[in-house]
Amino acid sequence: MQSPLIELKNLSYAYPRRGKVLDQANFRLQRGEKIALTGDNGAGKTTLFHLLTGLLKKQQGEVIAFGQCCEQESDFVPMRARIGLLFQDPDDQLFCPTVLEDVAFGPLNLGKSREQAMQIARDTLTRLGMSGFEERITHQLSGGEKRMVTLAAVLAMEPEVLLLDEPSNALDQKARQRLIDTLQTLPQAMIIISHEPDFLSQICNRHIRLEAGKLLEERSCENARPAVAAG
């Protein structure tokens, strides 16, 4: 078997006054996997994404990305260029004045010319049904519009792995369907957090549940295939 894109070994994390959110959790993401990550409110799903990308500093265990053990910030910087994280709250993600600038920011940061970055941003917005929004002011957008713009910003970077924290939140039926169609056709491995089983089952081929600090294999995705053996 190919080496995993991301691997967690015995990852534990506790917040003050909350106690353990992750307790010796183990997990592997392989190429081609589209994983549904579920769990109760407050189970620690968002925390897991932030630990995986080094936004939170792990307390115990190992995070291995693309074969590299990530210990300190300097290890996480290059991996964050290869992993696209969609924040649960779009307001944590949007920071440029206009939509086009926000979506072009990632490609520019990855070394594309201004012209290339703008073209990628326009194309990505069109693909998500958001053409016409280029010059709109990001902080004036509606919740669903902000969600689609943040998705465009993540996809424009063409990351090798996508970590999507409740991507369908606030979307109307049309936007939700466009999102499903887009995620179905993307070749990248991804982990999607959502509380909508119907949304997840249309995209994912594996299901993991976070419960009492452990990551558990579930068999409830419609297209589910046998889970990749752990260990």
User: Using CB under 5 A as the criterion, which residues of the chain lie in contact with Mg ion when the complex forms?
Assistant: 45-46, 88
Contacts of residue 26, Cβ cutoff 8 Å, sequence gap at least 6? 8, 9, 10, 11, 215, 230, 231
- Output the CA angle 63-23-58, nearest 5 degrees: 35
Among 22, 29, 35, 39, binds ligand ATP (CB under 6 A): 39
21 binds, among Mg ion, ligand ATP, none (CB under 5 to 8 A by kind): ligand ATP
Q: How many Å apart are CA 208 and CA 35, to the nearest integer?
A: 7
206 binds, among ligand ATP, Mg ion, none (CB under 5 to 8 A by kind): none
Residue number with CB closer to ligand ATP (13 or 105): 13
Q: Can you read off the two tokens belonging to residue 208?
A: 């993991």
Could you tell me which stretch among 17-25, 60-68, 78-86, 197-205 binds ligand ATP (CB under 6 A)? Answer: 17-25
Residue 47 touching ligand ATP (CB under 6 A): yes
Residue 57 touching ligand ATP (CB under 6 A): no
Site string for ligand ATP, 137-166 (x = CB under 6 A): ------------------------------
Positions 60 through 119 that interact with ligand ATP (CB under 6 A): 88
Residue 4 touching ligand ATP (CB under 6 A): no
Check: CB of residue 188 under 8 Å from CB of residue 162.
yes
Residue number with CB closer to Mg ion (102 or 165): 165
Residue number with CB closer to ligand ATP (44 or 84): 44
CB of 20 to Mg ion, least distance (A): 17
CB of 54 to ligand ATP, least distance (A): 15
Q: How many Å apart are CA 31 and CA 100, to the nearest integer?
A: 31
Q: What is the 3-state secondary structure (H, E, C) of 153-217?
A: HHHCCCCCEEEEECCCCCCCHHHHHHHHHHHHHCCCEEEEECCCHHHHHCCCCEEEEEECCEEEE
CB of 211 to ligand ATP, least distance (A): 10
Among 28, 34, 45, 178, binds ligand ATP (CB under 6 A): 45
Residue number with CB closer to ligand ATP (169 or 201): 169
Q: How many Å apart are CA 45 and CA 52, to the nearest integer?
A: 11
Q: How many Å apart are CA 143 and CA 75, to the nearest integer?
A: 34
Among 3, 15, 91, 95, binds ligand ATP (CB under 6 A): 15
DSSP characters over 10-21: EEEEEETTTEEE
